Structure 1
Amino acid sequence: MATGAVVASSTTCLCCGRARGFIHTGPVYAVEELSHLRCPWCIADGSAAAKYDAHFIGDPVGDDVPLEVVMPVDAGTPGFSFWQDPRWFFHCGDGTAFMGAVGAAELAAFPDAREELRSEAGVWGWSAGAVESYLGALDKDSQPTGYLFKCRTCGRYMAYADSRSRSQTAAATAGSSRWRSRMGGPSSGDARRGCRRGCRGGGPGR
């Protein structure tokens, strides 16, 4: 609940038919419209994914892990709202824990994650000053926004940044190309999840 992906709600879950007091508000990739209609229990136990052929996380990034590791995380982890570039880190051979949206102020406590963002922005061809300005402009409530993850095995923090401006994230998005072929197509929209009749994704989720 701290990340905002799950909120208190009296909404009835479409999957189990129960109003359990909480509902997932993050993105879902499925043929049917499932926005705000899944309880976190049906996501966690995989029943929502199985019933609706639904997927919940974005492009896997970080460690190169087999699909046998990626798919259970994808099917049973509530995704979070994003601007337009959903990703999920994998580290030490498993999915990481999403810690929430962060801005420059919050990242000060996570130097490893900040350095990773600095390295990522550095490959965009910007000057050092422009990179630092970009990092300083990160805002957890606006854009660009940082998204913080923590490895559940070694405790390392990592992050990526996203905004509505595709030019700011194009280079980073290209880095996940190896996953596109492994997941069966482009990494965004319907084809990423193998939907054939128009998946409903998260869109700009903020």
Structure 2
Amino acid sequence: MSTNTRTPRANGERSSLLKLYLVRGILAVVWAAVFAVAHDTLDAKAIALLVVYPLIDAVSSVIDYRALPDDFERGLTAFNGALSALAAPAAGIAGAGGVAAALSVFGVWAVLSGAAQVVVGVRRRGPELGRQWPMLIAGGLSFVVGIFYNIQAAGDEPSLDVLSVYATGGGVFFIVQAGLLAWRARQRRADAV
């Protein structure tokens, strides 16, 4: 779908995305702060947090899915939501198996969800939806970092320390994208006056 055909729904979609991105970003940063102090031992609390992070993404995808028209972007958002919903219990099961297994599952999820995020960002990159550069960068980094996580998981000293950095970075990109959408909405209102 070309960006020109998106104009009639752009205001509503932009408002919906702004709220979604802002809440998603704040939740990621909060999760990162809690996980940073809770993962020293891979106990029930840390494993529960490993399950929660993909669930945040799954719920965000469901909210986004409901706001989209029936097109390719909606299907990809549904895929990402289902992937995240599957990643949550997989992370919990893997967490019970140890740091390497948990990091590997998180890495596979990061690769796949990052690729999906890049495709959605490309489809939303028109000016009416804030160009989506933060989402494109975050998705690309998720893809690359996920590969790194799997390499690290296969190494001698895998560590979950990197997950807090991952979540913080992703959260910041979501918050920046929300800011760009808010700026664009303010600019449109000023232009209309």
Give the TM-score of the pair, scaled to structure 2. 0.28
**Structure (1 or 2) with the greater strand fraction:** 1
More contact order relative to length (CA 8 Å, sep ≥ 6): 2
**Structure (1 or 2) with the greater helix fraction:** 2
Give the TM-score of the pair, scaled to structure 1. 0.27
